[in-house]
Amino acid sequence: MLIEVAGTGSVVWLEGLPGSGKTTLARQLADALGAAHRPVEVLDGDEVRRGLSPEIGFSREDRDRHARRVGYVANLLSRHGVTVIVALITPYESSRQAVRDLLGPRLLEVWLECPVDVCRARDPKGLYRKAQEGKLQQMTGVDDPFEIPTRPELVIHTGSRTVPQCLDLLREALDRRDSSSLPQGPG
Ligand SMILES: Nc1ncnc2c1ncn2[C@@H]1O[C@H](COP(=O)(O)OP(=O)(O)OP(=O)(O)O)[C@@H](O)[C@H]1O
Ligand SMILES: [Mg+2]
């Protein structure tokens, strides 16, 4: 007999350069999960920053602090069974490690790997152009570093794949994660 439990949710943490596709994939994954009646919440960098970290900037220390705050909220939600999708550049390994320490096996860290030239050509928010014109400083990928992730569960090459292909990869990884954390039946 399988005992049904409320269970915890996974946290899909999408990290990558500006323009690598975090928001696009977060929204589409959330739509797909929502359509399947799963409780889901998206924590998207800019929006969440307005609510959680309006007083801080983009220094290493501030970005790290912001990522930890997002991890804290993701932890609360996921403990109540919500699947959380985070869309945050997360440029530093120290932040990723802090989030991993907090979330443990609930974390599905996904690096959206995309060449900076492709991101620059996409420039969905015009940030690369602003940085090039000298109107924006501390832009990740331009004059601020993005440390190569060392322990992501999944790497998706968003520069050479379509959005539906990337979504399929995400769904597969999430399904694997969720089924591996289901309670075991009597053996
Ligand atoms: N395989 C793909 N995955 C995701 N986005 C893609 C892909 N191929 C093309 N795109 C396009 O790339 C752009 C990605 O923009 P998006 O706003 O999602 O980036 P982002 O990572 O959230 O950037 P930012 O850090 O500035 O918020 C969109 O215009 C999207 O349509
Ligand atoms: Mg975005």
Give DSSP secondary structure letters for 60-75. Answer: HHHHHHHHHHHHHHHH
The residue whose CB lies within 8 Å of the most ligand 1 atoms, and thus the one to mutate among 20, 24, 154, is: 24
Query: Which percentage of the chain shows pLDDT scores above 70?
Result: 93
Q: What is the distance, to the nearest Å, from the Cα of residue 136 to the centroid of all Cα atoms in its chain?
A: 23
In angstroms, the CA 15 to CA 91 distance is 8
**6: in domain:** no
* 107 domain-assigned: yes
Question: Residue 4: inside a domain, yes or no?
Answer: no
Pocket test residue of 17, 20, 130 for ligand 1, highest count of atoms within 8 A of CB: 20
- pLDDT-derived band at 8, boundaries 50, 70, 90: confident
Whether 162 is in a domain gets the answer yes
The single residue listed with the structure tokens 């794949």 is 161
Can you give the residue range of the structural domain that contains 27?
Answer: 11-180
Q: Give a yes or no: residue 53 inside a domain.
A: yes
State pLDDT tens for residues 22-56: 999 999 999 999 999 999 999 999 899 999 999 99
Looking at residue 152, which CATH number applies to its domain? 3.40.50.300
Q: Please report whether residue 92 resides in a domain.
A: yes
How much distance in Å is there from the Cα of 179 to the middle of ligand 2? Answer: 29
**Total domains in the fold of the chain:** 1
> What is the pTM assigned to this prediction?
0.94
* Position 6 pLDDT exceeds 80: no
pLDDT digits (tens, 9 = 90+) for 111-136: 999 999 999 999 999 999 999 999 99
Residue 3 lies in a domain: no
